[in-house]
Amino acid sequence: MKEHKFQIGQTVYFTSRPIGHMAANSTYEVVRLLPSDGADYQYRIKNPNEAFERVARESQLEKFVINAHFRSREPGKVPRELVKGWPPPLP
């Protein structure tokens, strides 16, 4: 089996968002590597604006890369236009 794609301390974008359960346009830090659930590696992730950690599958995470000139005024918040995949595709 392959190794974890993301490492502890890495900033990631969580791509699976149940409505009403996540802060919009948020980045997360990988805080722990978890074993595979059989199909996918799992991670514990933490957003600085939330008091709790989440568990996410590797397939739900994307490497977070932003413009080098951008500096967030609010840690964990990113303007939509800088997020990969924004705007969302039309149905």
**12: which residues sit within 8 A by CB, 6+ positions away?**
6, 27, 28, 29, 30, 43, 45, 61, 62, 63, 64
Peptide bond into 48 cis (omega under 30): no
* pLDDT, position 24: 45
Task: Express each pLDDT in 23-79 by its tens digit.
Answer: 545 789 999 999 988 889 999 999 988 899 999 999 999 888 765 555 555 555 666
CA 20 to chain centre: 16
Cα–Cα dist 70/31, whole Å = 24
What is the token pair recorded at 55? 């568990």
Tell me the pTM: 0.65
* pLDDT, position 27: 87
* pLDDT, position 70: 54
CATH class of 11-82: mainly beta
Q: Where are the domains of the chain?
A: 11-82
Task: Express each pLDDT in 5-27 by its tens digit.
Answer: 999 999 998 887 655 555 545 78
* pLDDT, position 2: 78
